[in-house]
Amino acid sequence: MHTRDLLIASTLTGLSDELVKLADVRVTAVASLEHASAMITSRQFHATYIDHDDHAPRSVWSVILDANRHGVTVLMGLSPGIQRIQHDLHDAGIMICPVQDATGVARWITAQLGLRSSMHLGSPVIAIAGAKGGIGKTLTTSLLAEGLTRRGVRVLVIDGDLSNSGIVPMFRIPADAPSYLDHASDAVACGMPPVWEPAQLRRLIFGQHPSGIDFLIGADGTADVRDLQRIEWLSLIEAARGLGEYGAILIDTGPEIKKRPYAILAARDGGWVVVPAPPGRKERTGVAHLLHVMQRGIPEHDLSARCLLVLMEPERGSTVTPEHVAPLLNQQFPAMRIIGRIPRAVRQISTADECNDRYMSPIDVDPGSRMAQATHQMVERLCLTIGLTPPLPMPRSPWWARWRRTAAWPASPGRLVPERK
């Protein structure tokens, strides 16, 4: 790729150095918006990044107009002055950087300009989503987190279900655990842009000892939670990726995919979306709806290619099974892939849930069970599909499970093979 010319008018120390480290760019830095306008009209730039805020909005708009006239892409930083006009900027299709540290901004600029794939610039993000409630999103998040941790991958789980957290009760997160919503409220009260830097975020992480999994919790136990604006959410995710210490970041999302489109944003920014898919009519309509949104949501980007389906077995007695549903979904959404099949395990889950005084994973209730084996298999598929190399091998099933030969092993991603009897 040839060298790109980038013009920056920024107050951030070290931004030019960070940019040059990350990508093949030639940076011209100017000290004011007037200089930026003069440069844009006199030289050819591929893009400009601006975070100066000591000027009237009129000066910002004047640079934007000059840039548009000369075919220069405009990217903005979220400084307090720019925050006041961020909605107008959004409406004008201008991208605003959700972070404020030099490394984060440089990573964001290179990703926006397509200079490097954002996937290689931080921990992979995997959102667990569905357009319907109660389909097993939180259970799948917990199984993926447990399975990845057992493969030696450090996992951060971000609770994105702000109205009805499933993560808090499932993992027995104490009521006094820090909440990222508190930080957002404090920032707004101080008149600061509600953005997160990796160092601030580190203080909000709750490390859960029994599981070894780290959490960022958003729900505070009250029904009336403050919602996050899109830019705040993006800032949170960017800061989490910027921590650099996690092999995977999992986001448990709520059912309101339109109100909080966290899964769409994850897929758009190079992440993945795991979709639990029970076979019932209402549930499969929900799955199809989500995949449609992914397919059509962003013009020219079929985000269904970033969707990984997990087939959920129905309750005993159901007349429809994953074998009916998988081929239909495969046909309608050829770009998505199937990474596993989770058996129904009511007793196992209930035993873990009701375990008296501590958190227990359903896969520890019976490590030789079909659910435990299906979890390890799903994690293996996930890693193969997204290019993650876990440090530890797949746990072997205990001898009694092999002897029972009850594990279900779906075949390669994208195809479904009936359960072995």
Binding site for ligand ATP (CB under 6 A): 130, 133-139, 161, 164, 166, 254-255, 312, 342, 344-346, 349
User: Of 165 and 304, which has the nearer Cβ to Mg ion?
Assistant: 165
Name which of ligand ATP, Mg ion, none residue 344 binds, using a CB cut-off of 5 to 8 Å depending on partner kind: ligand ATP
For Mg ion, the binding residue among 124, 166, 261, 362 (CB under 5 A) is 166
Rounded (10°) angle between helices 137-150 and 370-386? 80
Q: Residue 415 CB, nearest distance to ligand ATP (Å)?
A: 21
Q: How many angstroms separate the CA atoms of 402 and 343, rounded?
A: 17
Name which of Mg ion, ligand ATP, none residue 210 binds, using a CB cut-off of 5 to 8 Å depending on partner kind: none
Binding piece for Mg ion, criterion CB under 5 A, among 40-48, 82-90, 135-143, 293-301: 135-143
Name which of ligand ATP, Mg ion, none residue 26 binds, using a CB cut-off of 5 to 8 Å depending on partner kind: none
User: Of 133 and 210, which has the nearer Cβ to Mg ion?
Assistant: 133
User: Of 122 and 136, which has the nearer Cβ to Mg ion?
Assistant: 136
Binding piece for Mg ion, criterion CB under 5 A, among 24-32, 82-90, 163-171, 410-418: 163-171
137 binds Mg ion (CB under 5 A): yes
CA distances from 325 to 1, 139, 328, 414 (A): 43, 21, 5, 13
- Composition of the chain by helix, strand, coil, percent to 5: 40, 15, 40
Q: Residue 257 CB, nearest distance to Mg ion (Å)?
A: 13
C-beta separation of 409 from 377 below 8 A: yes
Q: Residue 114 CB, nearest distance to ligand ATP (Å)?
A: 34
Q: Residue 56 CB, nearest distance to Mg ion (Å)?
A: 46
Name which of Mg ion, ligand ATP, none residue 23 binds, using a CB cut-off of 5 to 8 Å depending on partner kind: none
Q: Which residue has the tokens 């898919």?
A: 277
Q: Mapping DSSP to helix (H, G, I), strand (E, B) and coil, where does residue 68 land?
A: helix
140 binds Mg ion (CB under 5 A): no
Rounded (10°) angle between helices 322-332 and 281-296? 20
Q: Residue 219 CB, nearest distance to ligand ATP (Å)?
A: 11
User: Of 147 and 254, which has the nearer Cβ to ligand ATP?
Assistant: 254
Beta bridge partners of 337: 308
Name which of ligand ATP, Mg ion, none residue 136 binds, using a CB cut-off of 5 to 8 Å depending on partner kind: ligand ATP
What contacts 24+ positions apart, CB below 8 Å, involve 312-317? 312/135, 312/136, 312/276, 312/277, 312/278, 312/279, 312/283, 312/341, 312/342, 312/344, 313/341, 313/342, 313/343, 313/344, 314/278, 314/279, 314/280, 314/344, 315/344, 315/346, 316/344
User: Of 146 and 161, which has the nearer Cβ to ligand ATP?
Assistant: 161
User: Of 231 and 372, which has the nearer Cβ to ligand ATP?
Assistant: 372
165 binds Mg ion (CB under 5 A): no
- Measured in degrees and rounded to the nearest 5, phi and psi for residue 141 equal -60, -45
N- to C-terminal Cα separation, the chain: 53
Sign of CA dihedral 358, 362, 367, 373: negative
Name which of Mg ion, ligand ATP, none residue 312 binds, using a CB cut-off of 5 to 8 Å depending on partner kind: ligand ATP
For 358-400, the DSSP string reads S---HHHH-TTSHHHHHHHHHHHHHHHHHT---SSPPPPPPHH
Q: How many angstroms separate the CA atoms of 326 and 414, rounded?
A: 9
Q: Mapping DSSP to helix (H, G, I), strand (E, B) and coil, where does residue 335 land?
A: coil
User: Of 77 and 261, which has the nearer Cβ to ligand ATP?
Assistant: 261
Name which of Mg ion, ligand ATP, none residue 418 binds, using a CB cut-off of 5 to 8 Å depending on partner kind: none
Name which of ligand ATP, Mg ion, none residue 255 binds, using a CB cut-off of 5 to 8 Å depending on partner kind: ligand ATP
337 binds Mg ion (CB under 5 A): no
Residue 301 gets which letter from DSSP? B
- Binding residues for Mg ion, rule: CB under 5 A, are 137-138, 166
